[in-house]
Chain A
Amino acid sequence: MGLATGTFLASAVECVEAFTIVLAMGLTRSWRAAVLGTIAALAVLAAVTALAGLALARWISESLLQLVIGTLLLIFGLQWLRKAILRSAGVQPLHQEEMIFAQEQEAARRAGREVRLGLDWFAFVVAFKGVFLEGLEVVFIVITFGLAASKRDPNGMLVAAASAVIAGVVVLIAGIIARRPLSAIPENTLKYVVGLLLSTFGTFWAVEGLGYFAGGTSLEWPGGDWAILGLLSAYVVLSRVAIRALGLRERVEA
């Protein structure tokens, strides 16, 4: 349940960001180019995932996989957490999909009209890049949460992948119904929660993966899997203290 929820939330945040970009291109430039850019990105993403999955399963030891995926996840997670802390403390403005949407639309209006393969090339490339980038993060999230859960549940990867697909479908349906950026979603809160989860699992995995340098066997955390709960608690405390300290500083300076 925790796995499905974590993957769903993390994927939903990425899908909302990708949806905002595609919507801006579709409304401002060309729906055909934006939709084809999205489909092309999803196709490339599927190919990259299949190839990477094959390579990971065949040639990389478990500890090295934990180290590589854990490190990437830790970097993504800490960046999300850092942004959520800065926004919650008032150091940076809250990330608003409406604002991003307006910026994307403005850039789309200013860009010249170049036609390639019968498509509005600007809209195609921007939609492709947005969906591919956000999708790649979803792939990392699914691999990490899925593999972590596979230790106990053989269907862990399937549950993680299904949760990500459901998140994509939910965001798409909500977007089609709303026909506007999904600004009602409490993005910063979601980002904070997901940042906590990614940082926790990233730290856990990256450290286990350090065993690669000591004979190849994964390193053990004191307390085993319970350390995940300890790490999560530590990140919650660290972030709350940081938000409070930065918030006080901002108020004093104001």
Chain B
Amino acid sequence: MSLVIGFLRFWYEFIVGDAWEIALGVVVVLAIGATLVRSGTVSPELVPLLVAAGIAVVVGVSLAMELRRSAGAISGRGPWQGR
């Protein structure tokens, strides 16, 4: 059991790392892109641009979250997340 947990933890640390919102955000944006492509509700030429805009939002949200995390660490409310 501990081997399985260790295996899963290894892949979590490798892929997700210390910014889970990046991994989650990328997956969510691509899932929305996949839904748009599959349903055909949006022109295929527009999908790349919408996904790229979504990724930019993910970066912005992650930076904002990191600011809050480091502010929390400075005031003693949370851990320092930097590596």
Chain A residues at the B interface, C-beta cutoff of 8 Å: 67, 71-72, 74-75, 78-79, 81-83, 85-86, 91-93, 95, 133, 136, 199, 203, 206-207, 210-214, 219-222, 227, 231, 234, 238, 242, 246, 249
Please, could you name 9 A-B residue pairs with CB atoms under 8 Å apart, sorted by A? Answer: A72-B15, A79-B19, A83-B83, A92-B82, A199-B55, A207-B33, A219-B37, A227-B48, A249-B67
Query: What is the minimal beta-carbon distance from B83 to any residue of chain A, in angstroms?
Result: 7
Residue B44 is within 8 A (CB to CB) of chain A in the complex: yes
Residue-wise, chain B 14-31 has the 8 Å CB interface mask toward A (1 for contact) of: 111101001100110010
Residue in B closest to A86 when the chains form the complex, CB atoms: B66
B59 touches which one: A91, A220, A231, A238 (CB < 8 A)? A238
* B47 adjacent to A82 (CB under 8 Å): no
| Number of residues of chain B lying within 8 A (CB) of chain A | 34
Chain B residues at the A interface, C-beta cutoff of 8 Å: 14-17, 19, 22-23, 26-27, 30, 33-34, 37-38, 40, 44-45, 47-49, 51-52, 55-56, 58-60, 62-63, 66-67, 70, 82-83
Q: Name the 7 nearest CB pairs between A and B, nearest first.
A: A92-B82, A213-B38, A213-B34, A207-B48, A214-B37, A78-B22, A221-B48
19 new A-B contacts at CB < 8 Å, known A78-B58, A82-B62, A210-B51: A71-B26, A71-B27, A78-B59, A79-B17, A82-B19, A86-B63, A86-B66, A92-B66, A206-B30, A207-B33, A207-B48, A211-B37, A212-B34, A214-B38, A219-B37, A222-B48, A222-B49, A234-B52, A242-B59
Query: What is the minimal beta-carbon distance from B9 to any residue of chain A, in angstroms?
Result: 12
Q: Which residues of A contact B16 (CB under 8 A)?
A: 75
* B22 adjacent to A75 (CB under 8 Å): yes
A219 touches which one: B48, B66, B67 (CB < 8 A)? B48
* A210 adjacent to B30 (CB under 8 Å): yes
Residue in B closest to A202 when the chains form the complex, CB atoms: B26
Q: How far is the CA of A86 from the CA of B80 in the complex (A)?
A: 13
Q: How far is the CA of A78 from the CA of B18 in the complex (A)?
A: 12
A92 touches which one: B26, B45, B70 (CB < 8 A)? B70
Q: A133-B14, A214-B44 are in contact. Are A82 and B34 (CB under 8 A)?
A: no
Query: What is the minimal beta-carbon distance from A136 to any residue of chain B, in angstroms?
Result: 7
Q: How far is the CA of A113 from the CA of B83 in the complex (A)?
A: 27
Q: Which residues of A contact B38 (CB under 8 A)?
A: 213-214
Q: Which residues of A contact B59 (CB under 8 A)?
A: 78, 81-82, 238, 242
* B47 adjacent to A207 (CB under 8 Å): yes
* A74 adjacent to B55 (CB under 8 Å): yes
